[in-house]
Amino acid sequence: MSKKKNNESLNQPKKEISIDSFMKHEEDVKAKLKRKNRPIVVMTYIMAVLFLALFGHIIFYMIHDSKKVIANANNKRQDYLSKYVIRGNIESIDGTVLARTDVDEDGNESRYYPEGSEYAHVVGYNEYGRSGVELDYNFELLTSNDNIVSKLQQDFKEKKNPGDTVVLTIDSRLQDAAYYALGDCSGAAIVIEPDTGKILAMISKPSFDPNEINEVWDYIHSDEGKDSTIMLNRVTNGLYAPGSTFKIVTALEYMRENPNYEDYEFECEGTTVVNGVEISCANDNVHGTVTLADSIAYSCNTSFSNIGSKLDKGSYRKTAEELLFNKELPYDGSYEKSSFIINEQSSSSSIPQTAIGQGDTNITPLHNAMIMCGIANGGLVKKPYVVDSIKNVSGIQVKKYKSKDSVKIMSSDEAKNLTEMLKGVCEYGTASSYFEYSDYTVAGKTGTAEYDNEGNCNSWFVGYSNIERPDIVVSVIVEDYTTNQTSGSYVAKQIFDAYYEYHEK
C-alpha cells in the first residue's frame, strides 16, 4: 500500500517556477548575502582608511616634522650627534665669535666663550643641561651642512665633521654699549628693531663666566651662593614693579574711556590723598596745572592717581591684558609672565598706587620693550627673535630666520597719540636732560619704582628713536638707583648714541 502511494507521488507533475519568481528569489539571496557581508566590508574599509592614514602620517613626519622633533631642545638623543659632529660656533650678526669648540692634538674637545660674561645669558652654556642659544639651537650646532666631498673625506679619515654656525641678531657694538653703560650696577637692557622683531642686544647683570661654569655651578649650589641670581636672565625672567613706565597703560585706558582726553586738566600741588591713600610726586615737586600730556612728560604721580580713580576697573584690566599682562608673550625663549591683579572686585584703595606703577603690578624688561615696540610700530608687536641665520663651515647660509608672528595691542591712532605724549618726556619732561639736544628724536618714558618701604628704588627707561621711522626700541632697568645714581635714561642714551655712531639716521 505504501509502495503504491510512493509511486503515485513520484508520478505527480512538477510545479513550474516562473522567471519572475526565480529572479525575485535570486535577489532575496543576494540581499541576504549583502546584509551578511556588510560588517566585513565596513571593517575592510575602516582598516584600509586607517592604513592609509598611518602611512600618510609616516610620510608627513618624515618630510615635515622629523627634523622639528629631533631639534626639540628636550630631545636627549641629540647628544648622539656629537659622536660625528664637532659642535659649531655661535656668532654675532657682525661676525664676533661668541662660542666655539677647541680641539687639542688628542682630539679632546672643549667649549670656549671668547666674550666671557658679556653674552652669558643670551648665548648660555653647554653643561649641566645647557641654557640660552646653546640649549635652544643644540640640534643646529650639532648638524653639519658641509659639502658632500668634504664630509666624505672626513668620514674616510674617521674624523668628525664641522658643525654649522648659529648667527645671532645681536650687534656686538650695541651689546658692548649696554654692557659698559650698566657698569657695576645690577639690571638689564634689551634693544629690539620694532619693525622686524630682531633683538640687537640683551644684557643682564650681575653675570657669570660660562668658561668657568663648573665653579659657578658649585657656587650657586653652596650655602654661600644659594641665593645668588647671577644665572637669572633679568631681561626675560626678572619681574619688577614698572614704576612710572606703567603710566602708559593708565593713560591709554583713560584715552579709551574719555575721547575728550585732550581737555583733561589737573592741579598738582605735589601731594594729595586719593581713595584714602596719600600720593606724592617725586621729590614733592609741584607741577601746577597739567594736561594729560604734561602728566606723562613730568611723570606726575598725583595727576595719575586722580586719573586712576576715575577708571572702570574691569576695563582697566582688559586694556592691561590687551597689552599682554597676565598673558603669554609672543617669544620662543624662557620668560616670566607679567602680572596685573586689578579687577572689578578690587578695592578702590588699591588703585592710586597701581595707576602709577606700584602696588602688585610686575613686568619684565622684555615685556616693557614689547609694549614700546607696539607703540613704535603702529600698534603691532612683531615677535622678537635672537637667531638671524644658520651657515655651514664654508660660510654658506643654509637657513634664514625672520619674525612671522605679530600681536595687535592697540590701534594705530592710539599708538600715534601716545607717541605725541611720549615725545614730551624727552623734549621737556623727565628725560629731557639726556635727549633734548640729541641728533636723533626719542619718544619714551622714565620710571622710578620703589622696591621696599624705605624709599629705595629702581630706575627705568623705555623708548624708541627716530620717531618718524623708528629705528630701535630700548628697555632698561637699573636696580638700586638710590645708591648707585645710574639712571635708566643714562644707559639708554649710551645705547642710542652707539647705534647712531655706526648707523645712518
Please write the tens of the pLDDT for every residue from 173-218. Answer: 999 999 999 999 999 999 999 999 999 999 999 999 999 999 999 9
Report if residue 51 sits inside a domain: no
Residues 185 and 150 occupy one common structural domain: no
* Better-scored residue on pLDDT, 334 or 70: 334
C-alpha to C-alpha distances, 410 to 244, 320, 321, 417, nearest whole angstrom: 20, 11, 11, 11
> In angstroms, rounded to a whole number, what is the distance separating the alpha carbons of residues 306 and 264?
11
The answer to whether position 323 is within a domain reads yes
Report pLDDT for 505.
46
Final residue before a domain boundary, out of 169, 201, 236: 169
Read off the pTM: 0.85
Q: What is the DSSP string of 419-436?
A: HHHHHHHHHTSTTHHHHT
Asked, for residue 107, whether it belongs to a domain, the answer is: yes
Same domain? 307 vs 356: yes
Structural domain includes residue 465: yes
Judgement on whether residues 472 and 341 belong to the same structural domain of the protein: yes
314: Cα separation from own chain's centroid: 26
Are 144 and 269 members of one domain? no
Do 262 and 365 lie in one domain? The reply is yes
C-beta of residue 162 within 8 angstroms of C-beta of residue 85: yes
**Distances 269 to 285, 289, 291, 302, 422 between C-alpha atoms, Å:** 8, 9, 14, 8, 23
Q: Is 73 a residue whose pLDDT tops 70?
A: no
Q: Which residues pair with 463 in a beta bridge?
A: 444, 474
Same domain, 448 and 467: yes
Measured CA angle at 378 (ends 377, 380), to 5 deg: 70
Domain end position, chosen among 149, 169, 189: 169
CATH number of the domain encompassing residue 143: 3.90.1310.10
Task: Name the residue among 423, 431, 369 with its Cα closest to residue 193.
Answer: 369
Same domain (yes/no): 185, 206: yes
Domain assignment of residue 292, yes or no: yes
Kindly tell me the burial class for residue 33, based on how many C-beta atoms sit within 10 Å of its own C-beta (0-12, 13-18, 19 or more).
Answer: exposed
**CA 49 to CA 104: how far, in whole Å?**
56
| CA dist 254 → 129, 309, 434 (Å) | 47, 10, 28
**Cis previous bond, 206, omega within 30:** yes
Specify the number of domains making up the chain: 2
Same domain for 82 and 105? yes
Q: How confident is the model at residue 74 (pLDDT cuts 50, 70, 90)?
A: low
Instruction: Report pLDDT for 433.
Output: 96
Residue whose C-alpha cell is 632697568? 477
| Within a domain: 63 | no
Report the CATH number at residue 200.
3.40.710.10
**Same domain flag for 155 and 298:** no
Higher pLDDT pick, 292 / 6? 292
What is the C-alpha separation between 132 and 120, in angstroms, rounded?
8
Task: Quote the pLDDT of residue 421.
Answer: 97
Instruction: Let me know if residue 477 belongs to a domain.
Output: yes
- Which pLDDT score, from 0 to 100, does residue 12 have? 54
Cα-flanking dihedrals φ and ψ of residue 121, to 5°? Answer: -80, -30
| Domain housing 329 | 173-212+225-387+404-504
Q: How confident is the model at residue 82 (pLDDT cuts 50, 70, 90)?
A: confident
Looking at the structure, do residues 375 and 412 belong to the same domain, yes or no?
Answer: yes
Exposure letters 331-343 (e unless 16+ CB within 10 A, then b) = bebebbebebebe
| Confidence band of 28 (pLDDT split at 50, 70, 90) | low
290 and 422 belong to one structural domain:
yes
> Do residue 238 and residue 308 come from a single domain?
yes
Q: What is the layout of strands, in order, in the sheet containing 473-478?
A: 199-205, 187-192, 473-478, 457-465, 442-450
Residue at 25 is within a domain: no
